Structure 1
C-alpha cells in the first residue's frame, strides 16, 4: 500500500465525523466546557421591568432641575420595589437593580444630591429623561435566540443560559474513546520491570489529549501480544459502545504486530495504514461496525504526533467542538536541510522575538523514542515532502503543542 499524504489521511479520518444525533440533557452546573446541541431561546425577558442602573433618586426630569428640593416619598430596592406611583414634587430613593416606580422617568445619581434631615433631597445637577434607566427587555426578549447550536459553553454562555431561565441544557454527548496499549514488554507505571520491559507511558498522554478534545476515555489497559488478549480487549470496547478505539503499538505487519490481523479477522474495514510522515509512518485507520479504529505507532513521539494530528481533531468533531487551532506561522532559528519524501514533524522550541515574531528552534535530537524531548518541545516544525533547504530567518509552519 502506497504512503498516503498527511492531508489526505486527515480528510479520510474526519469524513462523516459528527456528534451523535440525540443530545444529552445536563443540569446547568455540569455544562461547563460542553457543546450546546441546539439553539437556546430565552424563556423570559430581561430585565423584566425598567430598572435603575445606579444608586440615587427616581424623579421626573422636568422637576429635577439644578437647585430643586424634592420630598423623599419612599424607597425602591432590588427585590423590594416601591408599590405606588411617584407624586408631584417628590423623589423616591432607589438602588441599583431596583424597579423604577411609575411616574418617574429618570434617575439622579446620589453623588449630585444632598439628603436633608427634613426628609427632602437637594438636586445639584439637572437630570435628563431616561438617564440611568435600563429599559425593560433591553438585554433580551422572551423567545429571542440567545445561544446558537455548537456554542462551546464557557463562563459567559452558562451565565447567559441561566439568565434566560434555563436550568438544564441540551449538549452534544461526549464521544467515548477506548485506549488500548499492546505489547509483551509493557508494564504500568509503578509496577516492577523485568528484563527487556518498559513503562507503557503513551496511553496516558493519548488519553489526556482525547479528554482535552472532549472525550470520555475508557482505558482498556495493556494487551499482551496474543490474539486472544487483543480479541478480549476489542470485545470490551464494543460492549462499552466506544465511538473510537485507539490502539498503541502492534498495528504494523511484523511477526508480533497482531492488532491489524485481529481487527481484520473481526471484520474491520481497513482504510489505510501507512502515511507519508515522520515520525508516525505506520498509522492504521479503519472502522469496525460503527466504531472507528485508529492504530497509533508504539514509539512515544510517533504516537503523540499522530494523536495531535489525527485523534485530537477527530474527537473534537465527534464532540461538536471547533477544530483545534494549533497551526501557526513562525520563523526558523536554524538552517534546515532539504527534506525527503515524507512530511517531517520536528520537535522544536518556540519563543517570541522582541518584534513579536514566533521563532522556532528544532531540538538537537529527533529520535521518535525520546520522551523528554517531546515533553520539552513547544511546537512541531512542519517540513513538507521534498522541501528544499531552508535558511535561518525563513518562514515555516508550526503546530503549537503548548504556549
Structure 2
C-alpha cells in the first residue's frame, strides 16, 4: 500500500489538479468575496490635489506670522482666491489647500483674535499636515492585483479609483455538492436512537464553503452501499467539486473508493500523514474534482479547512489559496510529535495559544470553542510552555 503523503505534498498535488474556472463580469458591489481576474488600474488620482490633513489654518510662510484671516476652505467648498503673504485661511480636514499655501497651523496651536492669527509658543506651521496630490495613487497605477480577494476595503479602493460604476472581471465561483455518507446518519430526530447520529457534517461543510461557491447542493445521508453512492455521485456530476463525508477509510463499510471507481473516477491520491484526517481521498472525473473527507466531524472539519477551502479558492482565481501560518507561544508544554503531523485544537488569545484538553476526532464541543490549530510536525521535539509554535487561525478560513 502506498504510504500516506506529507501534508504539503498532498496540498500541492490537489492544487495542481485545479484550474481557475474562468472570468465573470459583475458589478463592484457584487464582487465582494470574489477574486479579481485581472490587475486593476486607477482611473483617477487620489487625492486629486493637495489637501489639509488637519483642522487649522493654511498659511504661506511656515515660520511667519502674524497673519490676517481672509477666508475659509472646507471639505467640498474650497477657498477661491490666491493666498498672499501675511494671509491665512481657516481650513478643515480634507479641504483643498489654496494656491500659495505651503503649510498648516494646527487649530490647537493657533492663537486667534478676530481676524488676527499668531502661533502659540509651542506651535508650528508645518507642511507635514498636507496630504499631497497622488500620495495614495495616481491615474494608471495598479491598485489591486489579479487574484486579490475583494473585501470592504478593496471595494472602497475600487470606488475611490473611479472603477465603482464599471463591471469588474472576477473568477467564477465553483458549484459544490456535499454528500453525507453512512448508515449511522439520520436527519429525522425520531431516528436518533443509540446507534444513529444526526447528520451534522453536511451542514458544517456547506457552511464552510458557502462564501467561496456559487451554489451548494446537499445530498444524503446516503447509505453504505456502492449503488447508493454511485447514484449520489451521478446526481452531483454537474458540480465542479464533489465532497463526500465518511466512508473514505479502510473498513468493510468504507465504500467511497470503490464507488468512485465504479462511477468512472480516477483516484489521484489517498491518505495523508496527518492527524486527524489521514483517510483523505482526492479523485477526479472529467472536470469534476472529488474530495473524500473522513466521517469523524473534527477530521472532516480539519481536512476541509486544509484542502477543500484552498481548492475552492484556486478554482475561483485566488493568487494565494492555502491558509496562512502564524507563530504564537504555547501556554502549556507539548509532547514530542509522532509519525504523523498533528493538528491540535486550541484557543488563541493575546498571542498565547492554549491546547484544548479534548482532542478526540469526534469531539464537536471542543471544536466549537477552538479558534486555532497548533501544527505539530512529524517527530517534532517536545515544546515547553512559552515556546513558539506554528498555528492556523480558524477564523476567515485561515486567511488572516
The TM-score bracket by the shorter chain reads 0.7 to 0.9
Residue 122 of structure 1 is matched in structure 2 by 117
In structure 1, the partner of 2:196 is: 197
TM-score normalised by structure 2 residue count: 0.78
Give runs of aligned pairs for residues 4-403 of structure 1, distance below 5 A: 4-7=4-7, 8-22=9-23, 24-61=24-61, 65-68=64-67, 70=68, 72=70, 74-86=71-83, 90-111=87-108, 112-116=110-114, 120-124=115-119, 130=127, 132-167=129-164, 168-188=167-187, 190=189, 192-193=191-192, 196-211=195-210, 214-216=212-214, 218-222=216-220, 223-227=222-226, 229-239=228-238, 242-252=239-249, 256-319=253-316, 320=318, 321-326=320-325, 328=327, 333=332, 336=335, 339=338, 342-343=339-340, 345=342, 347-349=344-346, 358=353, 360=355, 363=358, 366=360, 368-375=361-368, 379=373, 382=376, 384=378, 387=379, 390=382, 399-400=391-392, 402=394
3-state SS in 2 of match to 1:15: helix
CA contact (8 A) 1:58 1:105 kept: yes
2:344–2:355: 8 Å Cα contact kept in structure 1? no
Q: Which moved more, 1:199-208 or 1:283-292?
A: 199-208
User: Which structure has the greater CA radius of gyration?
Assistant: 1
Question: Residues 327-347 of structure 1: CA distance to partner in whole angstroms, max 9, x if unpaired?
Answer: 6576594675884xx515364
C-alpha deviation, 1:164, in angstroms: 0.9
Moved more, 164-173 or 196-205: 164-173
> Which runs of no fewer than 5 residues in structure 1 stay unpaired?
none
Cα pair 1:380 1:401 within 8 Å, conserved: no
* CA distance, structure 1, for counterparts of residue 35 and residue 326 of structure 2: 23
Residues 299 and 369 in structure 1, CA contact (< 8 A), matched pair in contact too: yes
CA apart distance, 1:268? 0.7
Shift of residue 147, structure 1, vs aligned partner: 2.0
Conservation of the 8 A alpha-carbon contact between 2:241 and 2:290: yes
Give the TM-score normalised by structure 1. 0.78
- Partner secondary structure for residue 236 of structure 2: helix
Q: Decide whether aligned partners of structure 1 residues 325 and 190 sit closer, same or farther in structure 2, where only a CA change above 3 A counts.
A: farther
CA-CA distance at 1:292 after TM superposition: 0.9
Q: Comparing 392-401 with 301-310, which one deviates more in the overlay?
A: 392-401
- Please report how far the alpha carbon of residue 294 of structure 1 lies from its aligned counterpart in structure 2 after TM superposition: 0.9
Give the secondary-structure state (helix, strand or coil) at the position aligned to 1:293.
strand
Query: How far apart, CA to CA, are the structure 2 residues paired with 1:394 and 1:100?
Result: 53
Query: Do the aligned partners of residues 334 and 132 (structure 1) sit closer, same or farther apart at CA in structure 2, a change above 3 Å counting?
Result: closer
- The runs of 5 or more residues in structure 2 that have no matched partner are 396-400
Query: Residue by residue, what CA displacement relative to the aligned partner does 1:190-235 show, whole Å, maximum 9, x if unpaired?
Result: 56436732211122222333346x3445132312345554344323
Q: How many residues align?
A: 385
RMSD: 3.9
Q: Distance in 2 between matches of 1:276 and 1:256?
A: 22
